[in-house]
Amino acid sequence: MAEISNNICCECGACCAYFRASIYWGETDEATPGGIPMEMCEKLNDFFVFIKGTNDVPPRCSALMGIIGKSVHCSIYDKRASVCREFTPSWENGEPNPRCDKARAAHGLEPLTPNHWPKPGNFPKAA
């Protein structure tokens, strides 16, 4: 598996500054040890919360650090929400993701192509 630093998403962050990250409250540390810190969330309704900043206009996740399109990282990467874990960047798995393309376009970034991803067997070797 490629290291996080070799992932094109670490140069992007557009999805983190385009979509609202709504999650079931059970993903927070109030219900799940090691879950998303509740202080980073706001109540949406009796069952869901959202990550602070993602419901703002314009949205930007409060866990997103860095400059979109240059260099970014998630300050709670190991505890990130399922909606974040399940978001697939375009062509990472050989298929486009129109939502990724839309978020990138909103930030003036070109859509990803299959060429953005290493070919099988071409991943960087571990040090």
Which tens digit of pLDDT belongs to each residue from 17-28?
A: 999 999 999 999
Residue 45 within any structural domain of the chain: yes
Say how far apart CA 21 and CA 103 lie, in whole Å: 13
Say how far apart CA 22 and CA 26 lie, in whole Å: 12
Residue 66 within any structural domain of the chain: yes
Question: pTM to 2 decimals?
Answer: 0.84
* pLDDT per residue of the chain (127 residues) written in tens, 0 to 9: 334 446 788 899 999 999 999 999 999 999 999 999 999 999 999 999 999 999 999 999 999 999 999 999 999 999 999 999 999 999 998 999 999 999 999 999 999 999 888 765 555 554 4
Residue 122 within any structural domain of the chain: no
Burial classification of residue 122, based on how many CB atoms lie within 10 Å of its CB (0-12 exposed, 13-18 middle, 19 or more buried): exposed
Contacts of 40 (CB under 8 A, 6+ apart): 51, 52, 62, 63, 76
Give all strands of the β-sheet with 22-24 in edge-to-edge order. Answer: 22-24, 48-51, 41-43
Only one residue has tokens 């067997």, namely: 121
Residue 99 within any structural domain of the chain: yes
Please tell me the total number of residues recorded for the chain in this structure.
127
Residue 24 within any structural domain of the chain: yes
Residue 121 within any structural domain of the chain: no
If one counts the domains in the chain, the total is: 1
Residue 125 within any structural domain of the chain: no
Q: Note down the domain range covering 72.
A: 4-116
Residue 32 within any structural domain of the chain: yes
